[in-house]
């Protein structure tokens, strides 16, 4: 993608590995200020979605202590096809949440 894309429509999109396997859903975008612009430094990819998003209260009830999933650096995710975010690296090299 060159040109503009709606970030809000990317939220919740399924992320795929290079082998077309489903990794998880795109949950969050970490950004940092560089001068006058903000750039995205990391993508948070979640394991399942619903309970993760519900936060601490619900997680405590269901028994999950910390959010599960992966953190991808900006260069580890390819958004050139916004309908199908794909990893540029092996899933194993992703940081775990």
Chain centre distance of CA 55: 16
- Residue in 84, 47, 83, 88 with CA at minimum distance from that of residue 67: 47
CA angle 91, 81, 11 (to 5 degrees): 70
CB of 20 to other proteins, least distance (A): 22
Q: Which residues contact 33 (CB under 8 A, 6 or more apart)?
A: none
Chain centre distance of CA 18: 15
Binding to other proteins by residue 5, rule CB under 8 A? yes
Residue 28, strand partner residues: 44
CB of 91 to other proteins, least distance (A): 20
Residues 62-91 that bind other proteins (CB under 8 A): 74-75, 79-80
Point out which span in 15-23, 34-42, 63-71, 89-97 binds other proteins (CB under 8 A).
34-42
Binding to other proteins by residue 61, rule CB under 8 A? yes
Indicate which single residue of 13, 24, 47, 57 sits in contact with other proteins (rule: CB under 8 A).
Answer: 57
**Interacting residues with other proteins (CB under 8 A):** 1-9, 11-12, 27-33, 36-41, 44, 53-58, 60-61, 74-75, 79-80
């Amino acid at each position: 993608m060159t040109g503009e894309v709606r970030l809000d429509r990317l939220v919740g999109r399924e992320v795929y590995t290079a082998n077309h396997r489903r990794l998880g859903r795109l949950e969050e975008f970490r950004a940092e200020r560089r001068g006058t612009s903000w750039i995205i430094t990391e993508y948070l990819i979640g394991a399942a979605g619903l309970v993760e998003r519900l936060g601490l209260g619900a997680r405590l009830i269901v028994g999950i202590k910390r959010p599960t999933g992966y953190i991808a650096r900006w260069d580890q995710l390819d958004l050139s096809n916004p309908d199908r975010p794909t990893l540029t690296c092996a899933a194993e090299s992703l940081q775990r949440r």
